[in-house]
Structure 1
Amino acid sequence: MDTASKQRWQESFQAFLHPRVITMLFLGFSAGIPILLIFSSLSLWLREAGVERSAVTFFSWAALGYSFKFVWAPLVDQLPLPFLTQKFGRRRGWMLLAQCSIIAAITGMALIDPSNGPSSLTYMAIAAVLLGFSSATQDIVIDAYRIESAEISLQAMMSSTYIAGYRIGMLVAGAGALFLASAFGSTKDTYDYQAWQGAYFIMALAMLVGVFTTLAIQEPISNRTAIVSRSTREHFGFLFMFAVAATGFILTFYHTAEVATSMTKTLSARFDSFPVGGFLVETFRLGLGIGIAWLAATLVIWSGIVSQNMMQETYIAPAQDFLKRYGLSTALLLLVLVGVYRISDIVLGVIANVFYQDMGFTKVEIASVVKTFGLFMTIAGGFLGGILSVRYGVIRILFLGAVLSAATNLLFMVLASMGHNLEMLYLVISVDNLSAGLASAAFVAFLSSLTNIQFTAMQYAIFSSLMTLFPKILGGYSGTIVDGIGYSNFFILTALLGLPVLYLVWQAGGLLKNHQP
């Protein structure tokens, strides 16, 4: 190796010691803590508290904030916060607010015993929604901070350390919370609320890593003068529109609860299937809520409260650019592919921890095999997917990832027939997480290739939101579906859901092959 090559390698390794790069490790940790406290850790807590599977999986909807974050991303991007923006800056102010909200939400969840009846579950759901919303907001700000805080040459290193920190945070919130709850005395047979309360209190304290990091770092220097030129009236008009739309969505769900219950019973009797009736009713209910929110926002825009130019630059221009570059038919196919690519993994993942517990695996076994060992397999799959994507092309590995993601779900059916078998669990987690990591690496590369650098933040926010929206909605019914058809048939169903994805990837590959956006 010549001197010049050695010097380049040395410079690359030294880049990992850059303060901005190290900062992303701690911010990644902060971003990785909340998500599993809504999904897997919370699902086990609720099951130990005696909550039915159907209700447990509905809690996965609390993370829908991640799927709708593109809606309020412009608000976070442009709205100054009283005192916080002036004291800490635009990015750090929002980051600090989001982190404090996350701590408040986790603490709120710790103060609620879900075994106390329906009212406690309602309060737990409210706290979980706050956690999902606050966590998604933190993600928006951290992404913006990462892009603005360092030159292009450091972006790859910053992304690497961010992902590493994120995975460590997930490990702490997943395996760590389970180990703590178990060590404090809660088991499947002997539920102990104080054990889970202590575990969640410690998770709230872990978020102080993010808070201290935010206080220690410097605000990035942004060259985006458009932010400064916005008037206070425009900012508050935008905030008002978002508040009205969100209120419309929440009130729709609140006032349709009793009607939805009645309609579910009627349709379930007609279809002789509770999962089908519940799915149809809740899908309609969600669509109605989105429609009301859209109508409310439209009325506010028509009233002149919101700046038309601001709406054009924020929402319309990025969408128009995407449609113009790819054409309507290709753009729609790509959006459908983005929306369903991870459907097999996500729908199964919502109920996975409950399945492990029902198979007789202890929290310590789940934490050791699924969370810790599985995490390393996911990281290994990510590296493998990146290498193969460079060698053979993103579309080919995207197709391979879709095949593996669907096929590996059938291994869960084998595990369901074997019951508590630790060796089989290791095999299932090895194959499933390795394939998931491979598919995710190819998918992220695919999403990045679809964005225009002029609208990277908004377009990527749309893609990253869309990719989990429908799978999470469907995943909310996974417990109900399992109650109706059993685990084995459920795993076959999740594998079949992946078959249309293969066709979409094949179609997308053909359309993009000769397309130059």
Structure 2
Amino acid sequence: PFVDTYKIPFLTKYLGMRKSWLLISQIFLIISLIMLGFSDPSQNLFLTAFFALLTAFFSANQDIIIDAFRIEILDDEFQGAGAAATQFGYRFGGLLAGAGSLYLKSIFTWPEVFLIISGIIFMLSICTIFLVKLDKMNIKKKSNNLLAPFKEFILRNTFYKSLIIILFIFSFKFGDVVAGIMANPFYVKIGFSNIDIANASKIFGVIMTLLGVFIGGYLVKQIGLINSLIISGVFQILSNLLYVLLNNVGPEFSFLIITVAGENFSGGLGSAAFVAYLSVLCKKEYSATQYALLSSFMGLARTLLSSPSGFIVESFGWGNFFIISTIFGLPGLIILFWMKDRFPINMQILGRAR
């Protein structure tokens, strides 16, 4: 609620609300990363954990503001394309910070790697200054009441239908999350080497994810949100069955490629449509708060479901585990079909400011 409500002295006047908060978040993110890189967990674990926490906090804050900015500058019909663009940036950034950092580590020390990554973020943060100033757009003044974003969402949809929306958000990626959490342990267990997994997941998998993201954004534009979500939901469920096939076949690299391709493509497809859906639910005055709240329910599902996954594998075996994960994907799809007839998108966004 703070980034939706409070202005930063001096900066807001010249940059606007979104840009000023984004720039501040990026500055503190850079500082946190540098401090994290120069900390030594063997000497002071608490200090390293503290800087890691700060990095996560400012990184999450940056994500929230970017999503709010995207929601506010785009009309509903372009939210699919906007979601695809941000998902592409997220995936590419993850690849750069993950695999890129490991590559840099072969040349530089860890503090130097963190400095390089911080330098890249600094150069990108300069772009913030040149973004559109949202204060010039037709967005009403925000209320100073921190509860206003929550109240508006519930009143717009009624308490009952708000619960349905939240339940759908929580359950849409049930099966995808459950299977994805255990994918790498599964690959190792059936006999694939780390090199095989890296080649399939980190290279081919990323390509298929990006392909899925862009096709997902295109589908949102062409056939609408609910239909796109239904198609991606079906793909997510079917992709889990590829793990069952791989479990029966064994460590055949070609089948690993097929499994990774199906899983990552369906994940990208679903992410683009899902992010677009969350975006159109948000009222522009409260886009940061409402998007952060709605997306947190998706994160909550991932957190809650990660714990029992190992227990399910131990109890039922890998093949049955992935069949169970497929079944977990059905509730979200059932809610979608209910929404299509009884609670369409235009009803969910009725009364929302544009």
- Look up the equivalent residue of 1:346 and give its one-letter code: V
Equivalent in the alignment of 1:223: 135
Q: Tell me: CA distance 1:515–1:394, structure 2 relative to 1, closer, same or farther (3 Å).
A: closer
**Could you tell me which of 140, 159, 164 is aligned with 2:88?**
164
Q: What is the CA RMSD across the aligned residues, in angstroms?
A: 3.9
Q: What is aligned with 1:136?
A: 60
Per-residue deviation at 1:364?
A: 3.2
Q: Pick from 100, 112, 119: which aligns with 2:31?
A: 100
CA distance in 2, matches of 1:488, 1:500: 21
2:173 match = 342
Match of residue 247 from structure 1: none
2:74·2:82 contact (CA, 8 Å) conserved in 1?
no
Which of 1 and 2 has higher RCO (CA within 8 Å, sep 6+)? 2
Equivalent position of 2:117 in the other structure? 206
Shift, 1:160, TM fit: 6.2
Gap change, CA 1:502 and 1:99, over 3 Å in 2: same
1:388 to 219, 227, 245: 219
Change (3 A) 1:84 1:128: same
Give 1:337 shift: 0.3
Q: Which amino acid aligns with 1:348?
A: A
1:323 offset after TM fit, Å? 2.1
Q: CA 1:163 to 1:469, structure 2 compared with 1: closer, same or farther past 3 Å? A: same
Instruction: State the Cα deviation string for residues 410-437 of structure 1 (Å, max 9, x = none).
Output: 2112323434221011100111112122
Q: Is the 8 A contact 1:106 1:200 kept in 2?
A: yes
Identity across the alignment (%): 30
Q: How far, CA to CA, are the matches of 2:305 and 2:254 in structure 1?
A: 30
CA contact (8 A) 1:98 1:137 kept: no
**Do the aligned partners of 1:105 and 1:130 also contact (CA within 8 Å) in 2?**
no
What secondary structure does 2:317 align onto? helix
Deviation at 1:405, TM superposition (A): 1.0
Provide closer, same or farther for how the CA distance between residues 151 and 129 of structure 1 changes in structure 2, counting only shifts above 3 A.
closer
Find the partner of 2:230 among 376, 388, 399.
Answer: 399
One-letter identity of the residue aligned with 1:202: V
Structure 1 residue 78 and structure 2 residue 6: aligned? yes
Following TM superposition, by how much is the alpha carbon of 1:458 offset from its aligned partner in structure 2, in angstroms?
Answer: 2.0
| Alpha-carbon distance change, 354 to 341 in structure 1, aligned in 2, over 3 angstroms | same
Query: C-alpha separation between the residues in 1 aligned to 2:281 and 2:4?
Result: 23
Separation in 2, partners of 1:484, 1:134 = 40
Q: Deviations over 1:24-48 (max 9, x none)?
A: xxxxxxxxxxxxxxxxxxxxxxxxx
CA offsets, 1:240-294, max 9 Å, x none? xxxxxxxxxxxxxxxxxxxxxxxxxxxxxxxxxxxxxxxxxxxxxxxxxxxxxxx
Q: 1:173 to 1:492 in 2, by over 3 A?
A: farther
- Cα deviation for residue 508 of structure 1 reads 1.7
Name 1:282's counterpart in structure 2.
Answer: none
State which of 411, 415, 422 in structure 1 corresponds to 2:246. 415
Equivalence map 1:78-477=2 (5 Å): 78=6, 80=8, 90-105=21-36, 108=39, 111-112=40-41, 129-143=53-67, 162-176=86-100, 202=113, 205-215=116-126, 217-218=128-129, 221=133, 223=135, 310=144, 312=145, 314=146, 316-477=147-308
Q: Which amino acid aligns with 1:223?
A: D
Matches of 2:12 and 2:263, distance apart in 1:
44
TM-score using structure 2 length:
0.77
Aligned length: 336
Distance 2:316 2:103 in 1: 32
In structure 1, list runs of 5 or more residues that go unmatched.
1-72, 114-118, 185-194, 231-308
Over 3 Å counting, the alpha-carbon distance change for 1:219 and 1:100 in structure 2 is farther
Q: Which moved more, 1:169-178 or 1:328-337?
A: 169-178
CA distance in 2, matches of 1:174, 1:415: 27
**Alpha-carbon distance in 1 for matches of 2:14, 2:318:** 53
| Distance in 2 (alpha carbons) for counterparts of 1:475 and 1:200 | 32
